[in-house]
Amino acid sequence: MSYIDEVIEEVVSKNPSEPEFHQAVKEVLESLRPVIEENEELYRREALLERIVNPERQFKFRVPWVDDKGQVHVNTGYRVQFNSAIGPYKGGLRLHPSVNLGIIKFLGFEQVFKNSLTGLPIGGGKGGSDFDPKGKSDREIMAFCQSFMTELCKYIGADTDVPAGDIGVGAREIGYLFGQYKRIKGLYEGVLTGKGLSYGGSLARTEATGYGLLYLTEELLKINGIELAGKICSVSGSGNVAIYATQKAHQLGAKVVTCSDSNGWVYDPEGIDVDALKEIKEVKRARLTEYKNYRPNSEYHEGRGVWSIKVDVALPCATQNELHLEDAKQLVSNGCLAVCEGANMPTTLEATEYLQKNKVIFAPGKAANAGGVATSALEMSQNSERLSWSFEEVDARLKRIMVDITHNIDAAAKRYDCEGNYVMGANIAGFEKVVDAMMAQGIV
Ligand code: GLU
């Protein structure tokens, strides 16, 4: 059996009931086959792959909190510190009822390669809880965040592990988490990113993941001789990534005609109204059923259906495994040119293979959504020098990073004779730097 197959088998048997983690490991290791086979003997002796697929450390803890009626609830908190070969652990916190150890491990594993691709000195980690923020009051959110940080603060720090937001964690939650960290540790340091501008946050961090996705998409299309301006796009989701991806797509001359939440989706043939979306989601924290009140010519549909619309470019920006084989078939039969992932692993393995086989340009999340964490690293730099840069400066650096990632993944794919396979390109380019750093640091 090949080394890769042995390691995949071991991951599956040692980590039962973690299908998303298996999926992420399989996707990465399968696509690294040419690199690993070239060095199989050395890597096997060094147990390099075993070290790559096992987190350096993982924490699981109880999070008790009191709701507005005086009822006590207990959630489970997680932080997985996956790999620190190239810098302090870095990665978001996700608050969603679907969170379990397998989800956090898949996200942490992806984060290692994504962070490497940014070219910045950040290792990979991820955390979160099965707490459901939907429908909770501000006080309940604060109570949860304070309890969560009371435990988490033991494991993190500006030079060790720097969490940020993810699904369910935005500016409000980061504020409560930062306040509690400072209170317990007595340290005013850049221990979290995605902070508010009045207490050490970076301009353009809020927009960064969505903007970065579009910078990469535009560049990748350009490499393939296609212009983004004038193209029709579908976006799924309606959170931070979806909102700013839509805004940047419009600024670049494309038109986004869809968005979605967990109950349904919107089709607005005139183009999604970003101001309306922001008000519904960021101010009112309401559902997308409200969108029709702002745009009477739009359609609202229950359930899923974003990928049924005929578009040139599809941008999945909601969550993992939201674009299935059937959706991929529909996109291909509608003549879709490119799928670029704003979320983490939104496309299933079968759907990805189908898209690639049918010559759809496919950019994996670890490259396409790296703009968020890259800008978090820029926030860390600003915190370290106790200065803050202008919006234009941060945005220009973000753009440069995304353009560099695009060319690096393209070049890595070409180097291994798989031109146009950006999944391979991203995994190879991300892996090479991590492996180099791990080899240099000995058996740790
Ligand atoms: N949660 C984001 C991601 O998946 C951002 C992480 C960060 O800024 O540390 O990359």
Full residue range of the structural domain in which residue 79 is found: 55-189
299 CA to centre of ligand 1 in angstroms: 32
Q: How confident is the model at residue 128 (pLDDT cuts 50, 70, 90)?
A: very high
For residue 394, what pLDDT is reported? 98
Burial (Cβ within 10 Å: 0-12, 13-18, ≥19) of residue 139: exposed
Q: What percent of the chain has pLDDT over 70?
A: 100
pTM over 0.95: yes
- Residue from 82, 114, 209 to probe ligand 1 pocket by mutation (most atoms less than 8 Å from CB): 209
- Annotated active-site residue 126? The verdict is yes
Shared domain for 307 and 338, answered yes or no, is yes
Q: What is the pLDDT of residues 205-231, one digit of tens each?
A: 999 999 999 999 999 999 999 999 999
For residue 417, what pLDDT is reported? 95
Alpha-carbon distance 418 to 356, whole Å?
A: 12
For residue 4, what pLDDT is reported? 97
Shared domain for 216 and 362, answered yes or no, is yes
Shared domain for 124 and 272, answered yes or no, is no
Shared domain for 356 and 228, answered yes or no, is yes
- Residue from 94, 373, 378 to probe ligand 1 pocket by mutation (most atoms less than 8 Å from CB): 373
352 CA to centre of ligand 1 in angstroms: 22
Shared domain for 185 and 213, answered yes or no, is no
Please identify which of the residues 126, 195, 231, 255 carries the catalytic annotation.
126
CATH number at residue 249: 3.40.50.720
**In this structure, what token pair is assigned to residue 229?**
């301006």
Q: What is the pLDDT of residues 261-318, one digit of tens each?
A: 999 999 999 999 999 999 999 999 999 999 999 999 999 999 999 999 999 999 999 9
Domains in the chain: how many in total? 2
Average pLDDT over residues 152-173: 98
Q: What is the pLDDT of residues 84-127, one digit of tens each?
A: 999 999 999 999 999 999 999 999 999 999 999 999 999 999 99
Shared domain for 217 and 323, answered yes or no, is yes
Q: How confident is the model at residue 78 (pLDDT cuts 50, 70, 90)?
A: very high
Shared domain for 103 and 220, answered yes or no, is no
- Three-state secondary structure of the chain: CCHHHHHHHHHHHHCCCCHHHHHHHHHHHHHCHHHHHHCHHHHHHCCHHHHHHCCCEEEEEEEEEECCCCCEEEEEEEEEEEECCCCCEEEEEEECCCCCHHHHHHHHHHHHHHHHHCCCCCEEEEEEECCCCCCCCHHHHHHHHHHHHHHHCCCCECCCEEEECCCCCCHHHHHHHHHHHHHHHCCCCCCCCCCCHHHCCCCCHHHHHHHHHHHHHHHHHHHCCCCCCCCEEEEECCCHHHHHHHHHHHHCCCEECEEECCCEEEECCCCCCHHHHHHHHHHCCCCHHHHHHHCCCCEEEECCCHHHCCCCEEEECCCCCCECHHHHHHHHHCCCCEEECCCCCCECHHHHHHHHHCCCEEECHHHHCHHHHHHHHHHHHHHHHCCCCCHHHHHHHHHHHHHHHHHHHHHHHHHCCCCCCHHHHHHHHHHHHHHHHHHHCCCC
Query: Cα torsion at 105, 107, 108, 110 (round to 10°)?
Result: 120
163 CA to centre of ligand 1 in angstroms: 8
| Mean pLDDT of the residues in the chain | 98
Q: Are 294 and 276 in contact (CB under 8 A)?
A: yes
Shared domain for 271 and 308, answered yes or no, is yes
**In this structure, what token pair is assigned to residue 108?**
């942490």
Shared domain for 212 and 250, answered yes or no, is yes
Average pLDDT over residues 330-350: 98
For residue 139, what pLDDT is reported? 98
| Residue where a domain terminates, one of 339, 368, 397 | 368
| Residue where a domain terminates, one of 129, 161, 189 | 189
For residue 34, what pLDDT is reported? 95
For residue 318, what pLDDT is reported? 98
Shared domain for 219 and 292, answered yes or no, is yes
Shared domain for 59 and 184, answered yes or no, is yes
248 CA to centre of ligand 1 in angstroms: 19
Average pLDDT over residues 57-63: 98
For residue 20, what pLDDT is reported? 97
* Closest ligand 1 atom, residue 369 Cα: 10
Alpha-carbon distance 103 to 17, whole Å?
A: 10
CATH number at residue 155: 3.40.50.10860
Average pLDDT over residues 30-36: 96
Q: Is the CB of 383 under 6 A from ligand 1?
A: no
Alpha-carbon distance 150 to 90, whole Å?
A: 19
Shared domain for 220 and 358, answered yes or no, is yes
Number of Cβ within a 10 Å radius of residue 69: 6
In-domain check, residue 68: yes
Number of Cβ within a 10 Å radius of residue 417: 9
Burial (Cβ within 10 Å: 0-12, 13-18, ≥19) of residue 392: exposed
What angle separates helix 240-251 from helix 205-223, to the nearest 10 degrees?
50
Alpha-carbon distance 444 to 84, whole Å?
A: 10
Q: Are 157 and 122 in contact (CB under 8 A)?
A: no
Q: How confident is the model at residue 441 (pLDDT cuts 50, 70, 90)?
A: very high
What angle separates helix 101-117 from helix 370-385, to the nearest 10 degrees?
70
| Residue where a domain terminates, one of 157, 189, 221 | 189
